[in-house]
Chain A
Amino acid sequence: MNNLFWALLLLFLVGVLLRMDWVYYLVYVIGGMWVFSHWWIKRSVGKLDVQRQLADHAFLGEKIPVEVRFTNRSWLPLPWLQLQELVPLDLKDALDYSMVISVGSRAVVEHDYTLYCKRRGYYALGPLSLRTGDLFGFVDTVWQTNQIVNITVYPQVLALHKLGLPSSAPFGVIASRQRLFEDPARLAGVRAYTNGDSQRAIHWKASAHSDSLLVKKFQPAIALNVALVLDLNREAYPHVGEYGLSEWAIVIAASLASHMVQQRQPVGLITNGLDVLSDQLAAALPSRNGQGQLMSILSLLARLKMHVFAQDLATWLPNQITHLEWGTTLIVVTPQLDEQALWVLHNAYRRGSQVIVLLCAPQIDLEVLQSRGKKLGVAIYKTIWEKDLEALESLGTG
């Protein structure tokens, strides 16, 4: 419609040269319509507020309702507004997230849709693409909102009995007589309060004295912290089905963490997976208890991605577990276990840890490995698909 500009000029010249003043009326009307349309859309776009309201986390299989609110602060309406939401494929609940709406003057219009969390992960929702124009086709404006919302879809959490782990160790502490992890009678000092510490452990007098929260440190009677080690090195996984197996490993880790927290046991996570948030190796989460710790672990598990890591498990693990307290239960979720890794775990066992290996991928000579592990103090279980879990369940209950 850019020809209209030349038509406008022509009309003006005709009016000037032929001294037909009434032609200026047409210049006013057509030019006014053209100019006003541009100004209108420019102003309305500037006065349009877009807000997206949604929960930024969800569990697998859940649906997240999203409400997009358009607030027009201008007296001029927007005759049409086409919106296009950029939704990750794993969150799509509909074929397309587009809509055309009309926003009246000083009106609020809400557009609702849902997201379906089909796969765990850390997703970016948006940006929201918007397009509008005038009534005559003079102006067509496309822009994007800068609001990108990150959504965390936690991994699937299974009930522990489905994992079929025997109840003697490491979780046997709940049923055993060894209930004390730290002896409150033997104060070892104080340390700064961190998230997840019990309020009962706060040393109020020392906190008041130092003007910061301090927590009592007790000498451990029996340390029963649990450290989950998740191996997400792509080299360790078989090429066929590596994605499914790595996801299964994450599900196992999430389920274990959830179970530990339910049993009020401190649990931490050590992994060599890639954190997509920082695009670096995921930082280890020290052992803590409480729902906050569980959410931290689940969030980290949601963000993890398998990648090619230069160090194998036997090389990487020793540095990660040196700081573990005596008596910590070490649960290693890995697709394969070789001789070197077994000896590394044996060393951990010798330092006082209980070591359990959950193999989430098929392993050659598993029975031989299990018998060797038993001799070296490393319990090895096969936790590959559902039928293995059922078998382990029967083993555990039997």
Chain B
Amino acid sequence: MVEIAQTNKTAEHTADEKVLASSLLERSVPYDQPWLTSLLRPVLIAILVACLDLVLMACIARIEPALAGNYVPIILFFSIVAVLLGCITTTFLAQPAHRHRRTPLYRLAEVGLLLAVTRLAIWLVTGTLPAPIEFLVHPLSTLFDGLFIIGGLIVIFSWMMATDLTRDLLRLALQADELYAMQTDRIGEMVRSSHTDRPSILRAVANRWIAGGMLMILLAASLRLGPPTGNGLFALVQQNIQPSVIGAVVIYFLTGLLLISQGQLALLRSRWSIDRVPSAKNVLRNWPLYVLALLLIIGIGATLLPFGGTFYLAQIVGGFISLVFNTLFGIFQFFMMLLMLLVSLITGKAPPPAPEQAAPPPPPPPVIDAQPQVSHLPVWAGGALFWLIMALLLGYAAYIYFSGRGMNFAWLKALWQSLRERWLQWFGAYQQWQMTRIRAAADRALAQNKTGDASFGAWRQSGDLDANQRVRYLYLSLLHAAAQVGLPRAEGETPLQYAPRLAKEIASLHNDRAESGNLDRKDVARSERPPLAGAENSQSVEQTDKTLEQTPVTEQASQNLATLQDVQALTDAFIQVRYAQIPVETTEVSRLQQLWEQIKRQLSL
């Protein structure tokens, strides 16, 4: 009894020591709590694997529609449970305090429990719970029926995938030895190195994600009911496939991107921690926000892009593959025929008859015509946009990829430079030709202006001139009219030099005409005046002449000033349009038109 008591005491003591050691271990050995206890990671893994399971189950339901009732949902449910369990237990076992539980037996028990519950659930859901005697008579066939094997495999697959992903992502966390070195090595005398190749771990996760995605796409392809019904905008909802499958694939890829982003954050965080680089709080705080924002923007933007227009390309690619296949098959047939001939020659037997032609394949299902969509865009617009976007996207992606591999695209740059130079050369020649043509036209116009000016008249008659052209037209009309009355602009005379001279000339011309007009008016006044006698008559004549002379002097001055102002205004407007390139208002053009009319009247045109 004493021995038993002592043994018990020893056992209790050992247990206490274990608990104490465990608690001490937890307290003394540091580990990356923020990463290990993060909820986001297991949730993302669960979503990822659940999406994969959903597509798998959709395939199973397609192959065996009878299972689509309760079986598929329950397997899906247990798959998700298996994923969560795998994530949780793997994280739990990664804690230093629980290392002693990290044994194959523990994991086996976990899988066994999952399978047992799945087995029970399948029996209950499908209503095939066997009688107890069946367990004794046919134990294997009772336990391991087809439904359980398929369901169990899917559950185990989900659990394994979740476990592997979680384990890899946990390896991205700061390891205990790294944290210990960071805590104790305050002045950096220890070598700052990590034995964990985190980038390769993240690459492995990404590869697994891509492989899973490809598998899902291929499975989804087998689920297709028919060709898509729409190739335009929002074509994602017009695909002839179960929306849940498309949704699962899309969510799988988006979730994978989120997971990779989290892995990248863990990688950076560990690198900074090992290198003792302090990081600002907002780096970690803003990270998920940036990722979500980016995914949302690109995800929503992608839904607005066209998806179609690849039918002909598919035909071309298919034709090419068929050609390659037929060629290879023909070569193979040829060699086989030679071999047969050789065998027949050796054995002396006639070669076996050629197999009968296989039955022709069934005709392809009729292509369902897409419903015509009412659109204002041409039918080829969506396809053109699609190809443009694809070319840009894939081209730039290829450029990035090959640039990263050390390719400098010197030949492409040289080609581009050569094409650019050639274009500039051609364009320069064209510009030179244009300049020559314009100069020649201008010279011709000048010559015609000197001789008789036909082209200006043609231009003058064109009615659809804008405000600036009208201003230039009015000024050129002024020049033309002035030249016609013998007041042309001199060679090398600027418009501003010409304006006061022209105004003065017009005024003098006008005065001359007015004086001659006065004389005429005097004669008329004299003739109209009633005949008076003697001195009265002579006095009256003088008064009339004075009145007639004094009145035009003041009028002439104001008229001269007005002419100068008119010519100056027209010249200023022309300079503004021609040389300063400042546009004029339409109302201003009307005013200039009135001024021009006044000047024209003075020129007696």
- Among listed A24-32, A210-218, A264-272, A319-327, interface-contacting one: A24-32
In angstroms, Cα B296 to Cα A36, docked, is 13
A1-33 to B contact mask, C-beta < 8 Å, 1/0? 111110111111111111111111111111111
Interface of A is mostly: helix
In angstroms, Cα B393 to Cα A4, docked, is 13
Task: Select one of B221, B276, B400 contacting A18, CB under 8 A.
Answer: B221
A352-375 to B contact mask, C-beta < 8 Å, 1/0? 000000000000000000000000
Query: Is A79 at the interface (CB under 8 A from chain B)?
Result: yes
Task: Select one of A34, A77, A79, A99 contacting B397, CB under 8 A.
Answer: A34
Q: Are B302 and A10 in contact (CB under 8 A)?
A: no
In angstroms, Cα B231 to Cα A104, docked, is 39
Q: Are A32 and B287 in contact (CB under 8 A)?
A: no
B401: chain A residues at CB < 8 Å are 2, 5
A99-B279 CB under 8 A given contacts A4-B210, A16-B313, A25-B302: yes
Q: Which of A7, A77, A79, A96 has the most CB of B within 10 A?
A: A79
Q: Are A30 and B257 in contact (CB under 8 A)?
A: yes
Query: Is B443 at the interface (CB under 8 A from chain A)?
Result: no
A33: chain B residues at CB < 8 Å are 257, 294-295, 298
Query: Is A80 at the interface (CB under 8 A from chain B)?
Result: yes
The residues of B with any CB-CB pair to A shorter than 8 Å are 187-188, 199, 202-203, 206-207, 210, 213-214, 217-218, 220-221, 224, 227-228, 231, 235-236, 239, 241, 246, 249-250, 253-254, 257, 260-261, 263-265, 267-268, 272, 275-280, 282-283, 286-287, 290-291, 294-295, 298-299, 301-303, 305, 307-308, 310-311, 313-314, 317-318, 386, 389-390, 393-394, 396-398, 400-401, 404-405
In angstroms, Cα B206 to Cα A17, docked, is 24
Q: Are B220 and A20 in contact (CB under 8 A)?
A: yes
In angstroms, Cα B586 to Cα A218, docked, is 79
A220-242 to B contact mask, C-beta < 8 Å, 1/0? 00000000000000000000000
Taking A9-B394, A24-B390, A133-B268 as known contacts, 9 extra A-B pairs with beta carbons closer than 8 A to each other, sorted by chain A number, are A21-B231, A21-B308, A35-B400, A99-B279, A100-B272, A135-B265, A135-B287, A135-B290, A137-B267
A31-B397 CB under 8 A given contacts A25-B307, A136-B257: yes
Query: Is A82 at the interface (CB under 8 A from chain B)?
Result: yes
B275: chain A residues at CB < 8 Å are 98
In angstroms, Cα B310 to Cα A21, docked, is 8
Q: List 25 A-B contacts (CB under 8 A).
A: A1-B203, A2-B404, A8-B394, A13-B317, A16-B310, A19-B311, A21-B231, A21-B308, A22-B246, A26-B253, A27-B393, A29-B302, A31-B393, A31-B394, A33-B257, A33-B295, A34-B400, A35-B396, A84-B277, A95-B187, A98-B277, A98-B278, A99-B280, A135-B265, A137-B199
Query: Is A102 at the interface (CB under 8 A from chain B)?
Result: yes
Within 8 A of B (CB), among A88-108: 95-96, 98-102, 104
Task: Select one of B210, B253, B310 contacting A15, CB under 8 A.
Answer: B310
Q: Are A100 and B400 in contact (CB under 8 A)?
A: no
A8: chain B residues at CB < 8 Å are 394, 397
A118: chain B residues at CB < 8 Å are none
Q: Which of B199, B264, B265, B282 has the most CB of A within 10 A?
A: B264
A10: chain B residues at CB < 8 Å are 214
A28-B302 CB under 8 A given contacts A3-B206, A21-B235, A102-B286: yes
A119: chain B residues at CB < 8 Å are none
Q: Are A26 and B394 in contact (CB under 8 A)?
A: no
In angstroms, Cα B257 to Cα A34, docked, is 11
Interface of B is mostly: helix
Least CB distance, A302 to chain B, in whole angstroms: 29
B397: chain A residues at CB < 8 Å are 5, 8, 31, 34-35
B310: chain A residues at CB < 8 Å are 15-16, 19, 21
Least CB distance, A26 to chain B, in whole angstroms: 5
Task: Select one of A3, A13, A25, A80 contacting B283, CB under 8 A.
Answer: A80
A136-B302 CB under 8 A given contacts A24-B307, A102-B282: no
Least CB distance, B304 to chain A, in whole angstroms: 10
Question: Which residue of chain A lies nearest to B237 when distances are taken between CB atoms in the complex?
Answer: A22
In angstroms, Cα B275 to Cα A33, docked, is 29
Least CB distance, B452 to chain A, in whole angstroms: 62
A20-B298 CB under 8 A given contacts A25-B236, A95-B276, A99-B279: no
A5: chain B residues at CB < 8 Å are 397-398, 400-401
Least CB distance, A270 to chain B, in whole angstroms: 44
Q: Are B221 and A20 in contact (CB under 8 A)?
A: yes
Q: Are B291 and A135 in contact (CB under 8 A)?
A: yes
A133: chain B residues at CB < 8 Å are 264, 268
A13: chain B residues at CB < 8 Å are 317
B221: chain A residues at CB < 8 Å are 14, 18, 20
In angstroms, Cα B318 to Cα A18, docked, is 10
Q: Are B261 and A135 in contact (CB under 8 A)?
A: yes
Least CB distance, B449 to chain A, in whole angstroms: 55
Least CB distance, B530 to chain A, in whole angstroms: 88
In angstroms, Cα B273 to Cα A96, docked, is 13
Q: Are A36 and B294 in contact (CB under 8 A)?
A: yes
Question: Which residue of chain A lies nearest to B309 when distances are taken between CB atoms in the complex?
Answer: A21
Least CB distance, A52 to chain B, in whole angstroms: 18
B213: chain A residues at CB < 8 Å are 7, 26
B224: chain A residues at CB < 8 Å are 18, 20
Q: Are B203 and A19 in contact (CB under 8 A)?
A: no
In angstroms, Cα B405 to Cα A9, docked, is 17
A137: chain B residues at CB < 8 Å are 199, 202, 260, 263-264, 267
Task: Select one of B206, B239, B394 contacting A21, CB under 8 A.
Answer: B239
Task: Select one of A11, A28, A34 contacting B305, CB under 8 A.
Answer: A28
Q: Are A21 and B393 in contact (CB under 8 A)?
A: no
A102-B261 CB under 8 A given contacts A2-B404, A30-B253, A33-B294: no
Q: Are A100 and B283 in contact (CB under 8 A)?
A: yes
A135: chain B residues at CB < 8 Å are 261, 264-265, 287, 290-291, 294
A38: chain B residues at CB < 8 Å are 396, 400
Least CB distance, B252 to chain A, in whole angstroms: 9
Q: Are B267 and A79 in contact (CB under 8 A)?
A: no
A11-B394 CB under 8 A given contacts A21-B310, A99-B277: no
